[in-house]
Structure formats: structure tokens, C-alpha cells
Structure 1
Amino acid sequence: MESLVRVIWLTLVLLLSGCAYQAQQAPSGSWQAQRATLTQLQDWQLSARLGIITPDERGSLSLFWRQDSDDYRLNLTNVVGKRVFDLSRRRGTIQLTDSEGQRHTAGNARDLVFRLTGWDLPVEQLAYWIKGLPGEADRVDYDADGRPRTVQAHGWQLTYLGYTRIRGLWLPSHLSLTHGDTTLRLAISQWEFEA
């Protein structure tokens, strides 16, 4: 009888520990599993259309973004392919080359873009948001599939309007961002990254 109690007790312990282990592992394809992968995704590039709406102007631009860990290059061109600006961060130095070829530097990309263009672009946060990866302190609402649907952070309201599945990851294809009287709309046409 005592050995039977031990067997039952041992079986229960094994079952409970197995359940606890399975509960900690996110199912394949779930947001928890994808979040870990997206956090590790440091090298990527994309092409997109960027719509900018402010009280003074409304425009549509082509955007190319190449991220290499903490460094990046963000290039904006107008409808005829002329450079609007080229923004880069390399080894901690932020530089913007304007449409006239003049180079400007600053310690903060968002402030630099705003000073030279009047556009409010949350460049540093956007590097994460554009992957569908909200920050730890961001207020997030999820869709039925567990992916971010809306994010509120740093005065910005983000709405993810569409996702596309690439190499097993759900990545945003359409985003809308609003901050005060500035609205940004991103339509991503191409993602590239190492699997």
C-alpha cells in the first residue's frame, strides 16, 4: 500500500511539473514565441510608402530603412525619386543629409528631424514599433490572434492595420501613428532579414 501511494504521489508530481513546464513554453506561432524572436531580430531592412499629414502639409514619400543593431540608415525620397533626407546613426553619431546635400548632426534623431523639417518622427521608438514590438512600458491592446492592435506610448497612438507572414513571423504591413496634429501612415511593401 505504501509503495502504491509513493507511485501515485510520484506520478502526480511528474504530471504537475510537466504541466508547469508546458505552461511556461509558448505554443509555436504565438505572440510570446514571436516576441522573443523579434527582440533578437537586430538586422533588417524594409521598403515602404510613408504618408505624412500635418496642419501645414500632406505628402507621400518612399521610405527605405536599414537597421544594423543600434545603427541605422533611413532614406526618404519624394514621388520623383529626389532625396528628401537621409538619416543615419553610426557608432552613436546621428547625421541627417538634407535635400541640398548639407549635413547636420545632433544627439537626438527625433529633435534633428523636427528642427529641419517640422515633422515629428519618433525614429528610435519606431525601430521597435515597426516590427510590431511594443516597449515594456507601452499600453498595448491585442487582436484575436494575440498580435498588437493598438499601442499608446510617448504621446503616440499606434494602430496596426495589417500584418503579413514572412518566414514564420507576423510582421506589420500597415501602421497608422498619431501624435497631436501629426499623423503618419506606413504601408510596408517589402521586408528583408536573415532567417
Structure 2
Amino acid sequence: MLAVRTLLICLGLLLVSGCAYRAEEAPVGSWQAQKQQLAALQDWQLAARLGIITPEERGSLSLFWRQHSDDYRLNLTNVVGKRVFDLSRRNGRIELVDGEGRRHTATNAQELVYRLTGWNLPVEQLADWIKGLPGEADTVIFDADGRPAQVQSHGWQLSYQGYTQIDQLWLPSRLELSHDTTTLKLAVSRWELNP
């Protein structure tokens, strides 16, 4: 009787420890399992359509983004292919070349874009958000596959509306961001990792 009781206790402990282990292990291919890979992904580029909606205007632009570690180049063009602006960060220096070819520099990309265009673009946070990383978010709601679906961060509301799998990683394909009276809609047409 004592042997049976000891065996049952051991089996119970194995089941409990087994459940705890499985709870910590994310399913293979899930966002939770790939979170560290996404955070380590420093070299990527994408092409997308960017919709910008403010009380004053409504427009659709083509966006090209090339990220290399902390440096980036973000190029926006209008529907006829004319440059709206080219924003870059190299070795901590932020520069924006406007549609007329004039160069502007600043220490804060978001403030520079706002000053020159009136658009509120969270450039620094967007580098993580665009990969599906909430960063230091206030709240995150995950979808049925464990990927971020709704995020509140830095006063922004993010809604991840689609994902695509690229090189075994789940990356956002559609994202909507809103802050006060600004709404941004991003539809990614092409991802390239480690280009």
C-alpha cells in the first residue's frame, strides 16, 4: 500500500512538473518561441503602402524601410513616385531630405518629421513595432497563435491585422496605429531579412 501511495505521489509530481515545463515552452513556430529571434533581427528591409489619416489630410504613400542595427533609411514617395522625404539615421545622426532636396537634421526623428510635415510618425518605436515586438508596452493582447494582436504603448493603439511567415519567422503584414487624431495604416508587400 505504501509503495502504491509513493508511486502515485511521484506520478503526481511528474505530471505537475511536466505541465509547468510545457507551459514555459512555447509551441515551435509561435511568436513567443521566436520573440528572441525577432529582437535579435537587426538587418531587414521592407516595402509597404502607408495610409496617413489626420483631420487635415488623407493620403497613401509608398514606403521603403532599410534597417541596419540602430541605423535606418526610411523613404516615402507619393502615388506618382515623387519623393515626399528620405529619413535616415547614421551613427546617431538623423537627417531628412525633403521633396525639394533640402537637408534637415535633428536629434529626434519623430519631432523632425512632425515639424516638417505635420505628421506624427513614431519612427523610433516603429522599428520594433513593425517586426511585431511591442517593446515597453502598457498592455498587450495576444491572438489565438500567441502573437501580438492589440498593443497600447507610448500613447499609441496598435492593431496587428495580419501576419506572414518569412524565413520561419512570423512578421506583421498589416498594422494599424492610432494616436489622438492620427491614424496610420501599414500594408507590407515585401519583407527581406538580412539583405
In the alignment, which residue of structure 1 is the partner of 2:180?
180
Equivalent residue letter for 1:103: R
Contact in 1 for aligned 2:137/2:154 (Cα 8 Å):
no
Q: For residue 32 of structure 2, give the secondary structure of its aligned residue in structure 1.
A: helix
1:120 equivalenced with 2:123 (yes/no): no
Question: How much has 1:13 moved relative to structure 2?
Answer: 8.1
Q: Give the 3 Å change call, closer, same or farther, for CA 54–23 of structure 1 in structure 2.
A: closer
Contact in 1 for aligned 2:159/2:175 (Cα 8 Å):
yes
After TM superposition, the structure 1 = structure 2 runs for residues 3-152 of structure 1, keeping only pairs within 5 Å, are 23-152=23-152
Equivalent residue letter for 2:145: D
User: C-alpha separation between the residues in 1 aligned to 2:125 and 2:90?
Assistant: 17
Question: How much has 1:158 moved relative to structure 2?
Answer: 0.7
User: C-alpha separation between the residues in 1 aligned to 2:19 and 2:57?
Assistant: 57
Question: How much has 1:26 moved relative to structure 2?
Answer: 2.6
Question: How much has 1:23 moved relative to structure 2?
Answer: 4.6
How many residues align? The count is 193
User: C-alpha separation between the residues in 2 aligned to 1:70 and 1:172?
Assistant: 20
State the Cα RMSD in Å: 2.3
Q: Give the 3 Å change call, closer, same or farther, for CA 137–177 of structure 1 in structure 2.
A: closer
Unaligned runs of 5+ in 1: none
User: C-alpha separation between the residues in 2 aligned to 1:54 and 1:10?
Assistant: 63
Q: For residue 35 of structure 1, give the secondary structure of its aligned residue in structure 2.
A: helix
| Alpha-carbon displacement from aligned partner over 1:12-47 (angstroms, at most 9, x marks no partner) | 988877765555433311222111110011100000
User: C-alpha separation between the residues in 1 aligned to 2:53 and 2:12?
Assistant: 61
Q: Percent identical across equivalent pairs?
A: 71
Q: For residue 39 of structure 2, give the secondary structure of its aligned residue in structure 1.
A: helix
| Alpha-carbon displacement from aligned partner over 1:115-171 (angstroms, at most 9, x marks no partner) | 000000000000000011101333111111111111111111111111111121111
User: C-alpha separation between the residues in 2 aligned to 1:126 and 1:17?
Assistant: 39
Equivalent residue letter for 1:56: E
User: C-alpha separation between the residues in 2 aligned to 1:27 and 1:39?
Assistant: 18
Unaligned runs of 5+ in 2: none
Runs of 4+ in 1 over 2 A off after TM superposition: 8-27
